[in-house]
Structure 1
Amino acid sequence: MEIIILGTGCAKCKTTFEAVQKVVDESGIDATVYKEEDILEIVKYNIMSLPAVVVDGEVKIKGYVPTKEEILKAITI
């Protein structure tokens, strides 16, 4: 599984990346998590508000820092 955190480096984007990485580590899910800060790559997802969480190419969460439960739901469905 590939999880991409879209964000330009703001505090909310960094917090989202850390939260997603923590959930993946704690749950033992086999996933690669990384941040995408290149605005030219971000616009390809047609996202108007950041941060966003992309799971295997599909935008699952956008515009806010998700809770642990929301992250688990997004990456296990």
Structure 2
Amino acid sequence: MNIKILGPGCKKCEKLYNLTNEVLDELEKQANITKVTDFNDIASYGVMKTPALVIDENVKFSGKVPSKKDLKKLLK
């Protein structure tokens, strides 16, 4: 599984990154997590609001940090 956190490095972006790692640990899943901070790269996903979560090149959330429960559903 490849996961990308899209955002300039703001507090919400860091929160999403940390929450994603936490959920992966709880689910005992392995994934490659990458932070994408370049605005051109972020825009290439059609994302206008950050943070955004991309799983295997599909945008799952944009403009908010999902709840832990919602994130677990996506990562199972």
Normalized against structure 2, the TM-score is what? 0.92
Q: Number of aligned pairs?
A: 76
Flag as ranges the 4+ runs of structure 1 deviating above 3 A: none
1:28 aligned residue: 28
d(CA) in 1 for partners of 2:62, 2:70: 11
State the shift of 1:75 in Å: 2.1
2:5 aligned residue: 5
Q: How does 1:1-77 map to 2 (within 5 A)?
A: 1-76=1-76
d(CA) in 1 for partners of 2:60, 2:75: 8
Q: Could you say what secondary structure the match of 1:33 adopts?
A: strand
d(CA) in 2 for partners of 1:75, 1:59: 13
Normalized against structure 1, the TM-score is what? 0.91
Percentage of matched positions with identical amino acids:
38
Q: Which runs of 5+ in 1 are unaligned?
A: none
Q: Which amino acid aligns with 2:31?
A: A
State the shift of 1:58 in Å: 0.2
d(CA) in 1 for partners of 2:30, 2:14: 21
